[in-house]
Amino acid sequence: MLMTTGFTLWFTGLSGAGKTTLATLVERELRARGRKVEVLDGDVVRTHLSKGLGFSREDRDTNIRRIGWVCEVLTRNDVVAIAAAISPFRAVRDEVRERIGRFVEVFVDVPLETAIARDVKGLYKKALAGEIPQFTGVSDPYEPPLDPEVTIRSAEERPEQSVARILAALEALGYLEPARARAAD
């Protein structure tokens, strides 16, 4: 029997850590398993739902609360909500977790040097040159989760390995039917 209950899968980590890549791959797998899924990518949300917000702590917290509210609505309507946002401050992530309840945090951990090397948008280069104030990991803090359900070390494993570990965690937590049980049907 397929589970029909929604949950939120929250990817957090520095810019360039691999959050969007992993969210897209997990989305694909969940859809293949018959789940309704919606991805809220931090960059996309900022151009629509959070347009006009800056990068002060208050604006960043407002952005994350907005993403969290959408995830909460989707979750209670049997959709898997996947958020992929830097979400630098632990307190607001914990607040969103508490409000949603059915929440799985994935910390995409990457050394700053690796994130800088992956910087396809040139943002780290600008931040290091002082052209972008309040850039997370350079001139603004990132507070890693204290007890995430999954920690991905994206500099040390291939995305497919990370996705397999995320799916295994979702199965172990009871949010996703085990793949082997599905194959037996």
104 by DSSP, 3-state: which? strand
In the residue annotation, 154 being an active-site residue is answered as no
CA quadruple 105, 115, 28, 50: dihedral sign: positive
DSSP state letter for 34: T
Using an 8 Å Cβ cutoff, are 22 and 16 in contact?
A: no
Question: Checking phi first, is residue 106 left (phi over 0); if not, alpha (psi -120 to 50) or beta?
Answer: beta
String of b and e for 142-175 (b: at least 16 CB within 10 Å)? beebeebbbebbbeeeeeeebbeebbebbeeeeb
Q: Which of 50, 87, 154, 162 is catalytic?
A: 87
139 membership: H or E segment, kind and range? none
DSSP strand pairing (103-109 vs 7-12):
parallel
Known catalytic residues are 87
